[in-house]
Amino acid sequence: MKKLLAGVAMALMALTGGAQAQDYPDRPIMMMVSYGAGGATDFQARIVTMTAGNEDALGMPIAIINKPGAGGRVGWNWFATQAESDGYTLAAYNIPHFIAQSIKGGVEYSADSFEPIANWGADPAVFVVAADSEMNSMEDVLAFAKENPGKLTFSGAGLFVGHHIAALQLEKAAGVKLAYIPTKGGGAAAMKAVIAGEVMAGVNNLSDAFRAQEAGNVKILGVFDLERNEFLPDVPTMKEQGMDIDNASVNFRGIMVPKGTPQEVIDKLAATVPEMFANARVAKKMKAGGSPMHIMTREEVQAMWAARQETLAELLEGL
Amino acid sequence: MSRAQHIVPSGIVFAVGCWIAWVSFTQQPAEAFLFPRLISAAFVALAGWTFVKALLGWSKVGSGVSRTMALNLAPGLIVSLIYVFWLAKALGFYTATTLAFFVLLSLYDPAPHNEAKTWIKRAIITACFIAVMYGVFGLLLKVYTPREILF
Amino acid sequence: MEFIYYFGDVFAPISFLLLLVGTIGGLILGATPGLSPTMAVALLIPFTFHLEAVQGLILLGAAYTSTVAGGAVSAILLKIPGAPANIATTLDGHTMAKKGEGARALQLSFLASAVGGIFGVLLLIFLTPLLAKWALAFGPSHLFWLAILGVTIIGSLDSASVVKGLLSGCIGLWLATIGFDDIMGAQRFIFHPSLGGGINIIAALIGLFAIPQVLTMFAKGRRNDNIEVIEVKKHAIGDAVRELFSRKRAMAIGTSVGSIIGLIPGVGGQIAGLVAYDQTKKFSSEREKFGTGHSEGVIAAESANNAMVGPSLVPLLTLSIPGSPTAAVLLGGLLIHGIFPGTDLFDNHPDVAWTFINSMLIGQVLMCLFGLYVAGLAAKVAQVPQCVMAAVVLGLSVFGAYSVQSSMGDVYVMASLGVMMFFLERFGFSAAPLVLGLILGPIAEANFIQGSMIANATDGMGTYFLGGALNLVLIAIVIASIAYSVVMELRQNRAQNAEVTA
């Protein structure tokens, strides 16, 4: 009897599966964020998907599910191996995090496991020190580091995430040895370590550092990007301060689906999602929260992923 | 309670402890297994002591498992395990829960089985429970539970 | 005294309505298995998109306070702790409910929650700048010792045998290491794909507490003569108030422990209830009554976990550092309205800041009133026949575990841990120390590794972990706590031996 029921269930599934692509989406969609509730990625994901239920967007709401752990590995591993590729399970991606992790190994995903849909934001890494620190520019930082090799402690959100990439780039470009301290608990914990004086400096998200600077808790000494940021027009880039550092550590955030999702579903999402991000209400809320937006279409994201794959493979070689 | 009853669980725990220690001390990278090594050392020591105590018959706490208890427990445990590990996913949460709830209720309800009234009562309780679950998890919290057949 | 000026704003019609909705809704969400306060608050965030900043925060603040208290309802009536904060409440609360004293347990828990909660919010109002410094004083080395201190109370917590208590704690510590290690990203002990994400604490809680209870009910069988008829006693609210005030020690320990621990970022509310319970037990003259439905246990645990609510927001409101997962979600609620916690909040948006804080104060009172009102009614749950109860708890556990992160893996983990715990409990192991290990393991490990990395780059391990006044104080408490456990074990053995010879 139970076998029979299961058989009937399978048959029904096969039937509904065929019809799904045309009416997609006909039920609420789930989006996995591989960081904890309240973190920068989670917060932005909730804002950019808030209009998903509108008729001109997907017409169905997107519910956020958090699967935090190990710098995002837990969530993406789940997404690559266990998520159903029916278009009702989306995930937020963070570049360079998941690409760096897949190059390092020990995870079951790579850039080929996922299909990008669209990008919503780009959050560069910045170098911060506590407000009462004696260091006032990258020059001071490097001078200290050269005198005390391996003694300058600075925090970041984990290993093989954007902050770590920035740290590696800094060490390489300046030719000094630093002590990178990965914290558990994301950018917020890394920021706390800087403000509380547990470490001398830190790498953090521009959006979080901007707020912390506004609150008078930290000083921002440099941006790990190609150009200065609109939120921080007075803070020079690393390149301006004489270090050859590009935008490889900039944290790009967007939406992806698992490989094997029907092409029609991908096309539909790729067409609607960038427009959904461009919604005026979304832009207003993002700006209010100090989160830089950067909308990219599926093709642009594919190119960006491929480019990152190369740069990171080179940077992480021999680590 | 007999000495043998204490030996079995403490033996299993001790074996698990040894396995953890073995894994922790052989796996790489060593940095990642530093903490598990520490724990497994304490684990093995404590589990070893408990095991020895059980062997010597010094274990006093706990009420053990009696024969009647095991017989009472078996049907419920088996139905629950089938429900959780297989039916919930295969039939969908609501269908499987309805089924499991009704079966468990019938298994353990002391009311006589040969009266129609009893069965109607059980069906009503089951329906009420599922309605509440659907209301809370499906409608209010919008949790999308696996739904294979029906709803 | 600035805050008094903004009290009126809380009673503006829409604000007050939201406060009411948030409080009552929060109690219901909190009582639902699988829904931790963090998740409940995250669920409400989308609603605040459509509200003004103040109104949104009132809703979130009210939900935060009342979900923490609401967790006690399922902890007492069903033995399913809604969140780690409510674990200690199950120990005595559920035993009371089984004796038909559910109404008394619930009334005491709501009253204690309100007293603790109001104290916590008052701390937030008056001592914030001072407390912020204190919160930041805890670095990795201190958090490590604090976690170790937590581990040492494992032995004395709800266990008939100290060794088995410690062993249960070790099992918990080990379970916590399953999954990806947080700093290196290495895979550890993943022998089934469901374990890839590690063991989810909420799913584990449901399994470890609820499932053994379901199986125990099954084990009683279906014969009529085994069914105990429970008489649910009515309990006057006045008596509960009087009892509360006669238990001053439990109140005081619960409230102060809750406020202090709640303040420390990263450790937060998860262990406040357990530590308070343990301390109250150690200082109580009726130590042996704990675990048998003793009201001090409920009072200490619940006053502690609500007292932690106010202080847990201190680092968030002053420094923009979320000290707990729930505070992190609240931060999001502030940011979408363009308000940055920190000096910006108090200088440029004092109306938002103080109305929010005031609403939490009034929310505590509303929560208590509403809780007392439903306590008598809710206690009737104890009269539900065992067979129905077992099936209900099983169903709730499955739905609850699944809803944590929409994952079947969590359901399997929940059930496996539950069945394991049932058999272990039959042999003197216990769930509370195991859960404590599960919570403390990651805190101890992450802070140890992070601390040793900083130490290696700077002063060296010795100075970093053993130097400084705060480290030394914590180490002294750890030693005292271990000594206490050893003495207890010896006394226990002597008592056992005396029994054997007699």
| Least confident among A102-111, B64-73, C296-305, C318-327 | C318-327
CB pairs under 8 A between A and B: 22
C115-135 mean pLDDT: 86
Helix axes C53-78, C295-307, angle to 10 degrees: 160
Q: What is the pLDDT of residue A17?
A: 45
* Helix and strand totals (H; E) in chain B: 6, 0
Q: What is the pLDDT of residue A21?
A: 58
* Residues of chain A contacting C405 with CB distance shorter than 8 Å: 65-67
Mean pLDDT, all residues of chain C: 85
Confidence of residue C121 (pLDDT cuts 50, 70, 90): very high
How does pLDDT run across C373-424, given as a tens digit for each residue?
888 788 777 778 888 889 999 999 999 899 888 888 899 999 999 999 999 9
A88-99 mean pLDDT: 92
> In the numeric block, which tokens belong to residue A156?
């970041």
Confidence of residue C162 (pLDDT cuts 50, 70, 90): confident
Q: Which residue is closest to B95 within chain A, CA to CA? A: A5
How many other C-beta atoms lie within 10 A of the C-beta of residue A118?
A: 23
How does pLDDT run across A281-297, given as a tens digit for each residue?
889 888 887 788 999 99
| Least confident among C15-24, C102-111, C132-141 | C132-141
Is the Cβ of A27 closer than 8 Å to some Cβ of chain B?
Answer: yes
Q: What is the pLDDT of residue A19?
A: 45
C197/A74 touch (CB, cutoff 8 Å), yes or no:
yes
Q: Are A40 and A208 in contact, with CB atoms under 8 Å apart?
A: yes
CA distance B149 to chain A (A): 6
Residue A294: φ, ψ to 5°: -155, 95
CA dihedral for B90, C210, C438, C442, sign (positive or negative):
positive
Residue from the list C218, C395, C406 with its beta carbon closest to the beta carbon of B76: C218
CA distance C329 to chain A (A): 4
CA C436/CA C237 separation, integer angstroms: 33
C317-339 mean pLDDT: 80
A22-33 mean pLDDT: 85
Q: Are A127 and A298 in contact, with CB atoms under 8 Å apart?
A: no
Is the Cβ of B22 closer than 8 Å to some Cβ of chain C?
Answer: no
Q: Are C115 and C303 in contact, with CB atoms under 8 Å apart?
A: yes
**Has residue C138 got a pLDDT over 60?**
yes
| Least confident among A282-286, B31-35, C100-104 | B31-35
Q: What is the pLDDT of residue C226?
A: 47
* Residues of chain C contacting B101 with CB distance shorter than 8 Å: 391-392, 394-395
Is the Cβ of A15 closer than 8 Å to some Cβ of chain B?
Answer: no
Q: What is the pLDDT of residue A127?
A: 95
Three-state SS at A92: strand
The angle formed by the CA atoms of residues A32, A283 and C52, to the nearest 5 degrees, is: 90
Q: What is the pLDDT of residue C207?
A: 92
C187-216 mean pLDDT: 86
How does pLDDT run across A160-215, given as a tens digit for each residue?
889 999 999 999 999 899 999 998 877 888 998 999 899 999 999 998 898 888 88
Residue from the list A8, A30, A63 with its beta carbon closest to the beta carbon of B149: A8
Q: Are B75 and B107 in contact, with CB atoms under 8 Å apart?
A: yes
Q: What is the pLDDT of residue B148?
A: 66
B144/A28 touch (CB, cutoff 8 Å), yes or no:
yes
Give all chains having 3 or more CB-to-CB distances under 8 Å with chain A. Answer: B, C
Neighbouring-strand partners of residue A127: A203, A222
Ramachandran quadrant class, A246 (left: phi over 0; alpha: psi -120 to 50; beta: rest): beta
Confidence of residue A14 (pLDDT cuts 50, 70, 90): very low
Q: What is the pLDDT of residue C159?
A: 62
Is the Cβ of B93 closer than 8 Å to some Cβ of chain C?
Answer: yes
Domains and CATH numbers, chain A: 27-122+250-318 (3.40.190.150), 125-224 (3.40.190.10)
C276-293 mean pLDDT: 85
**pLDDT over 90 for what percent of chain C?**
19
Q: What is the pLDDT of residue C268?
A: 63
Q: How many Cα atoms sit within 13 Å of C101 on the Cβ side?
A: 17
How many other C-beta atoms lie within 10 A of the C-beta of residue A275?
A: 13
What are the start-end ranges of the H helices in C137-161? 140-153
Q: Which residue is closest to B142 within chain C, CA to CA? A: C403
B3-12 mean pLDDT: 84
**Has residue A78 got a pLDDT over 60?**
yes
CA distance B59 to chain A (A): 40
**Has residue A93 got a pLDDT over 90?**
yes
CA C340/CA C347 separation, integer angstroms: 11
Q: Are B80 and B105 in contact, with CB atoms under 8 Å apart?
A: no
How does pLDDT run across B87-121, given as a tens digit for each residue?
998 898 999 999 999 999 999 888 888 888 989 99
The larger pLDDT score, comparing residue C415 to residue B28, is at: C415
Q: Mutate which of B103, B144, B150 to test chain A, going by most A C-beta atoms within 10 A?
A: B144
* Residues of chain A contacting B91 with CB distance shorter than 8 Å: 5-6, 9
* Residues of chain A contacting B29 with CB distance shorter than 8 Å: none
Confidence of residue C196 (pLDDT cuts 50, 70, 90): confident
Across B146-150, C111-115, C293-297, the highest mean pLDDT is recorded for C111-115
The angle formed by the CA atoms of residues C420, C423 and C424, to the nearest 5 degrees, is: 80
B90/A30 touch (CB, cutoff 8 Å), yes or no:
no
Nearest to C263 by CA among C336, C320, C332, C323: C323
- In single-letter form, the type of residue at position A240 comes to E
3-state secondary structure C370-384: HHHHHHHHHHHHHHC
Which residue's entry shows tokens 């900083």? C454
CB pairs under 8 A between B and C: 180
Confidence of residue C228 (pLDDT cuts 50, 70, 90): low
Residue from the list B90, B142, B144 with its beta carbon closest to the beta carbon of A6: B90
Confidence of residue C51 (pLDDT cuts 50, 70, 90): confident
Across A212-216, B31-35, C213-217, the highest mean pLDDT is recorded for C213-217
How many other C-beta atoms lie within 10 A of the C-beta of residue C292?
A: 13
How does pLDDT run across C423-461, given as a tens digit for each residue?
998 888 888 889 888 988 888 888 888 898 899 888 888
Three-state SS at A148: coil
B3-18 mean pLDDT: 87
Which residue's entry shows tokens 């830089």? A292
| Least confident among A305-314, C9-18, C216-225 | C216-225
- In single-letter form, the type of residue at position B4 comes to A
Where does residue C13 rank: exposed (0-12), middle (13-18), buried (19+ CB within 10 A)? exposed
- In single-letter form, the type of residue at position C442 comes to P
How many other C-beta atoms lie within 10 A of the C-beta of residue C126?
A: 12
> In the numeric block, which tokens belong to residue A80?
């690559």
* Residues of chain A contacting C325 with CB distance shorter than 8 Å: 36-38
Confidence of residue A16 (pLDDT cuts 50, 70, 90): very low
Q: What is the pLDDT of residue C499?
A: 61
How does pLDDT run across A101-145, given as a tens digit for each residue?
999 888 889 989 999 999 999 999 999 999 999 999 999 999 999
Q: What is the pLDDT of residue C344?
A: 75
Where does residue C129 rank: exposed (0-12), middle (13-18), buried (19+ CB within 10 A)? exposed
**Has residue C93 got a pLDDT over 60?**
yes
Residue from the list B91, B142, B144 with its beta carbon closest to the beta carbon of A9: B91
Is the Cβ of A306 closer than 8 Å to some Cβ of chain B?
Answer: no
The larger pLDDT score, comparing residue C42 to residue A201, is at: A201
How many other C-beta atoms lie within 10 A of the C-beta of residue C460?
A: 12
Residue from the list B64, B72, B88 with its beta carbon closest to the beta carbon of C221: B72
Give contacts of C 364-403 with B, CB under 8 A.
385-388, 390-392, 394-396, 398-399, 402-403
